[in-house]
Amino acid sequence: EIVLTQSPDFQSVTPKEKVTITCRASQSIGSSLHWYQQKPDQSPKLLIKYASQSISGVPSRFSGSGSGTDFTLTINSLEAEDAAAYYCHQSSSLPHSFGQGTKLEIK
């Protein structure tokens, strides 16, 4: 089973700041890594697929990079509406798995 470990668990940031969240896989997963945003009492929403591919309708300030075992989600010029939990997800092999989540608080 592939374990995904995110860092940090929590971050308090100011608007317009740049944020970087990392996700490390316990073994190589190629580029089969996806990122989701989950706001309180809402379902997760797909932000980035296959490590770096953008999703229609998602603001361009969200970007992803990485391959193998190390991945990064970057949010450029953070906005107040970006307060949420962010999860990585691997679809390389069964069972699918998720990171523990990173909670972003806007100061």
Q: Which is nearer to another protein, 80 or 94 (CB)?
A: 94
- Name the site residues for another protein (rule: CB under 8 A): 34, 36, 43-46, 49-50, 87, 89, 91, 94-101
Residue recorded with tokens 């969240």: 21
| Residue 96 DSSP label | P
Q: Which is nearer to another protein, 8 or 15 (CB)?
A: 8
- Cβ neighbours for 22, distance < 8 A, ≥ 6 positions apart: 6, 7, 70, 71, 72, 73
**Measured from the CB of residue 50, what is the shortest distance to another protein in angstroms?**
7
**Measured from the CB of residue 84, what is the shortest distance to another protein in angstroms?**
14
Q: Which is nearer to another protein, 14 or 42 (CB)?
A: 42
Q: Which of 56, 57, 76 is nearest to 65 (CA)?
A: 76
